[in-house]
Amino acid sequence: MFIDLSEVTQRLRRMSSQELDVSGSYQNFLLDLILESKKTLAVEHVSVWLFDDITVPKKLINVASTAWQEECSEVDYPILLCEQYPSYFKAITTGISIDATDAATDPRTCEFKENYLDSNNISTMLDTIIFKNGIPHGVVCFEGTGVTRHWQGSEIAYAEMVADCCSRRLLVKDLWLLQKQLTKLAFRDALTGLKNRRYLMDCAHREISRHIRSGQQLSLVMLDIDHFKRINDSYGHEVGDVVLQAFSKYCQQVLRAEDCLCRLGGEEFVALLPNTPASGALEVAERLRLNVEKNTIEIDSHFIQVTVSCGVGEVNLAKPFSDSLKQVDHAVYDAKAKGRNRVTTY
């Protein structure tokens, strides 16, 4: 079959320059590529397979296929094992395309004869390698039915371009996943796993707009562990860290899923309580205080009792959020001044 390489190359280049939504399954963002290549090469079926572990290429997972009528869930992706198809796996790991004119007799693909080729009437295969960092990462598999087919140089070159486009798309997906992970880390406190100050400021702005629209009240509880320095001084910083983790857990136990508990830093925390007036926030703060007080923390055979001072207030939706934060901070200061282990409002 004659392929006008300059024309199909341009089509592929245009396709791979388009903005992609890589947040979905592999099937979604590879499908346009493999459907286009199925048409161009006039084959029966095109599929994409990736090694589950690029350093130990023992298992190939079928992540996209032109034969799937609807989206295949990740748990149902078909797999191929190296132990069943050793010659095929060996051929892929060389990085050289497999142009099997007669798939049933070609030493690289004949292992599929009984289980697959005969039952699906597949006569010919062209497999091109997907690389990642220069190492084979998977394969795009083009399969033809009917008579055997001698693959032309231009067809192989085109199929290799399709595999390269897949490589690029997979790289974009990797970068997207990395970015998602970094965003998550940027908003999380590493010690307690709670959200951090940056997240609180971000979330507060969204919540303030939402509460202005809904006419509901938004409240704040600021929590500051009492005499935390003494815990560090008596038991060491590492024990102090475990106390902070246990404290976070006890606070979360008594909050609703929609409440947002953040660690501002050190032994200072804030809970943002949506759709809650000051009276409700006072009740929540008292619940938090009691739950912390009653749960003694056991670490290395030390039994450590922790108490907390809380400042409570309704967020003033008409003013900058930092003003409301300052006010609950003053309320905490009052609670400390009045003897600690108590809830104060402003």
Ligand X SMILES: Nc1nc2c(ncn2[C@@H]2O[C@H](COP(=O)(O)OP(=O)(O)OP(=O)(O)O)[C@@H](O)[C@H]2O)c(=O)[nH]1
Tell which positions 254-283 bind ligand X, by CB under 6 A: 266-267
Please identify, using beta-carbon distances, which residue of 98 and 244 lies nearer to ligand X: 244
Tell which positions 168-187 bind ligand X, by CB under 6 A: none
Please identify, using beta-carbon distances, which residue of 81 and 191 lies nearer to ligand X: 191
Each residue 109-148 as x (binds ligand X by CB under 6 A) or -, in order, gives ----------------------------------------
CB 130 within 8 A of CB 38: no
155 in contact with ligand X (CB under 6 A): no
Comparing CA positions, the residue from 223, 179, 187 lying closest to residue 203 is 187
Q: Candidates 73-81, 96-104, 152-160, 238-246 — which segment interacts with ligand X by CB under 6 A?
A: 238-246
Rule CB under 6 A: choose which of 191, 201, 212, 337 binds ligand X.
191
Question: By three-state DSSP, how is residue 262 classified?
Answer: strand
- How far apart CA 171 and CA 282 sit, in angstroms, is 50
One-letter amino acid identity for 179?
Q
Rule CB under 6 A: choose which of 224, 259, 314, 329 binds ligand X.
224
Phi and psi at residue 19, in whole multiples of 5°?
-65, 140
Residues 6+ apart with CB under 8 A from 180: none
Q: Candidates 99-107, 154-162, 239-247, 314-322 — which segment interacts with ligand X by CB under 6 A?
A: 239-247
Tell which positions 312-341 bind ligand X, by CB under 6 A: 336, 340
Please identify, using beta-carbon distances, which residue of 240 and 274 lies nearer to ligand X: 240
Please identify, using beta-carbon distances, which residue of 22 and 225 lies nearer to ligand X: 225
Find the Cα–Cα–Cα–Cα dihedral 101, 38, 122, 91, rounded to 10°. Answer: 50
Q: How near is the Cβ of 220 to ligand X at its closest, in Å?
A: 18
- How far apart CA 321 and CA 303 sit, in angstroms, is 38
Q: Candidates 10-18, 87-95, 226-234, 269-277 — which segment interacts with ligand X by CB under 6 A?
A: 226-234
227 in contact with ligand X (CB under 6 A): yes
Q: Candidates 79-87, 205-213, 235-243, 245-253 — which segment interacts with ligand X by CB under 6 A?
A: 235-243
- How far apart CA 343 and CA 346 sit, in angstroms, is 10
In the structure encoding, which two tokens stand for residue 107, read together?
């030493």
| Count of beta carbons in the 10 Å neighbourhood of residue 140 | 27
Rule CB under 6 A: choose which of 14, 206, 213, 237 binds ligand X.
237
Which residues in this chain contact ligand X in the complex, by CB under 6 A? 191, 224-229, 232, 237, 240-241, 244, 266-267, 336, 340
